[in-house]
Amino acid sequence: MNFVTANISGAGDSSKAEHIRNLKRNNKLGFIAIQETQMSNSSNILVSNFWDNTPFDFDSIEATGRSGGLLSIWDPGLFTKKTTNKKKQLWADLIVLMRSFSGSWIFLDDFNCVREPTERKNSRFNKQEAEDFNFFISEAGLVEYSMLGCAFTCVTDDGMKFSKIDRVLVCYSFLSLWPSAKLLGLSRFKSDHRPLLLLCSDVFFGIPPFRFFNSWLKEDGLADIVKKVYDGVIGFYPPDKLLAAKLKAVKVAVKPWCEKIRNRD
């Protein structure tokens, strides 16, 4: 079960639909989230251009004039649509929605906001907007996979301003089901946004992740190493990125200690 999100800057070009359709076929996608469709009428015939000949269901928000427009397409064998009525106070509404239904949650979209200053380059950082977004992520119990292949997802037409406004957020139960999933920033195709591909399939991406064995806790010195390194990592925000940085530092520090234990044995 794989996902993709893409800002296509208008669905009028048939080659864009073909590109998304090829992504669906080549990566066995179960869910496609499309932004900036600039469509005022999403019919089954039009939507099918982005899918293949397998069954699908979809929902959309029509564009206002020549801007906006959202389109979500999915495999009905994997997902069931739940309807909502109000769109005001989006973050609060999404939290209420999550608490209304059980199961794993995934949000993939062009959120049009960033989480920290480093996610913008040559453009204004809105501190309050970022704080609101981070509060929603924390309150909703969401996390995001590290994005591979790029640092930014959107670039202006003049190539001067960069931002990371497209992202994939998942709940902890989703993360526990696919802890090794990979989020890839793909090449832009006739758009100022990169499609994001979340691969949950069992694919080999290199060496296995670091493993910690309970028997190590009986060895002298390990607790002091972990505490010193863990407490020494500061300056990261928001909290989930601080935790990720601390765990990464611990992993780097423990590896040489592990080698000494192995050589001793």
**DSSP letter at 146?**
P
Domains assigned to the chain = 2-199 (3.60.10.10), 214-264 (no CATH)
Angstrom distance (rounded) from CA 71 to CA 173: 26
Total Cβ atoms within 10 A of residue 26? 9
Angstrom distance (rounded) from CA 241 to CA 233: 11
Angstrom distance (rounded) from CA 8 to CA 72: 13
In order, the DSSP letters of 187-203 are: PP-SSSB--EEEE-S--
Per-residue pLDDT of the chain (265 residues; tens, 9 = 90+): 899 999 998 888 899 999 999 999 999 999 999 999 887 666 766 889 999 999 999 988 877 656 688 899 999 999 988 766 443 478 888 888 898 888 889 999 888 889 999 999 998 888 888 888 898 999 899 999 889 999 999 998 888 899 999 999 999 889 888 888 999 999 999 899 999 999 987 554 555 566 667 777 778 888 888 888 888 888 766 777 778 788 888 888 888 888 777 776 5
Exposed/middle/buried for residue 186 (C-beta within 10 Å: 0-12, 13-18, 19+): middle
What does pTM read for this prediction?
0.64
